[in-house]
Amino acid sequence: MSAHIAVVTDSTSCLPENLATQWGIGVVQVQLHVGDQTDDEHRFDRNGLVEAMRTGTPVSTSPPDPGAFFWTYQDAVAAGASAVVSLHISGRLSDTVLAAREAAQQIRVPVHILDSGTSSMSLGFAVVSAARVAGAGGQLARVLDAAERRVRGSTELIYVDTLEYLRRSGRIGAAQSLLGSAFSIKPLLTVRNGEVSPLARVPGARRALGRLVDLAANAAGDQQVDLAVTRFGSDEREVVRRLKERIPNIGDLLVGDASTVIGAHIGPGALSITVSPVN
């Protein structure tokens, strides 16, 4: 972590472990419940979770205990941090930010809690931007500004095979309007105003993923963007190939797994694209 300003997030940021380590980012694990088992989400086998969801095993999630945030913040202080910037999943999707705020009250250095209003790599890219500024010795205002600008500029585009898992978890938000579509109609979603919102309904998975790439290309335009493709029990290779063909000015391109907590809500077969302008 930075000697002056530490940066902390939660596991729904989908940060690759090497990036979190490289930039000294503290990652607090959201809790996953599968059947009668409860643990930090990274301890669950991803393939096992997919199988459990497909066979109807009860799956749910909950925010970290405030104690997990407390000890992460304490570790940052012990390492020399004079302040902490803590960025988290939208408060309309999870109470994680509330747990962070509760823990922050017990820390002797300032802890600045940011509700990102989003999740996944839209959050992850903002966290990395904040950590880069902090690592370069940037002042608190610059660290906060880097995170906020990145969140505002990012676009989260989501394909789900079915809305059933979002409905079960209560995270369906404005995408409720898409329920009742024919089985062959695939929903495309985004995160807007802190909640899951509908974008389009497209017949067939292949066409829907093609439309997702179109939306990503439109969001990117000619500006330089970082991209992330995250999957949960899906094959991302064709989407990545098309993105490389359609978007002319790609900075970083990250391909990886969605966090298991996000997967528990969007369901097997889901895939998302994050478009984040470089600023």
What pLDDT was estimated at residue 279?
73
Mean pLDDT over 161-177 rounds to 61
Give 1-52 pLDDT, tens digit per residue.
Answer: 445 899 999 999 999 999 999 999 999 999 999 999 999 999 999 999 999 9
Ordered by start, the domain boundaries in the chain are: 5-29+64-153, 155-277
The pTM score is 0.92
Judged against a pLDDT cut of 70, whether residue 117 lies above it is answered with: yes
Kindly report the CATH number that applies to the domain delimited by 155-277: 3.30.1180.10
The predicted pLDDT at position 69 comes to 98
Mutual angle of helices 66-78 and 96-104, in 10-degree steps: 50
Q: For residue 174, what pLDDT is reported?
A: 44
What pLDDT shows up at residue 12? 97
Domain 5-29+64-153 shares a fold with domain 155-277: no
Is residue 177's pLDDT more than 60? no
| pLDDT value at residue 172 | 45
Judge whether residue 175 has pLDDT over 60. Answer: no
Q: What is the rounded CA–CA span in Å between residue 77 and residue 71?
A: 10
What is the residue whose two structure tokens read 């300003």?
A: 5
For 184-195, what is each residue's pLDDT tens digit? Answer: 778 899 999 999
pLDDT at position 75, please?
97
Residue 226 host element (H or E): strand 225-232
Q: Which of helix, strand or coil describes residue 105?
A: coil
Instruction: Tell me the CATH number for domain 5-29+64-153.
Output: 3.40.50.10170
Q: What pLDDT, on a 0 to 100 scale, did the predictor assign at position 3? A: 53
Q: Looking at residue 165, what is its pLDDT?
A: 78
Q: State which amino acid sits at residue 229.
A: V
* Confidence tier at 179 by pLDDT (50, 70, 90): very low
For residue 111, pLDDT over 60 is answered with yes
The answer for residues whose C-beta is within 8 angstroms of residue 226's C-beta and 6 or more apart is 125, 250, 251, 252, 253, 254, 274, 276, 277, 278
| pLDDT (average), residues 156-163 | 90
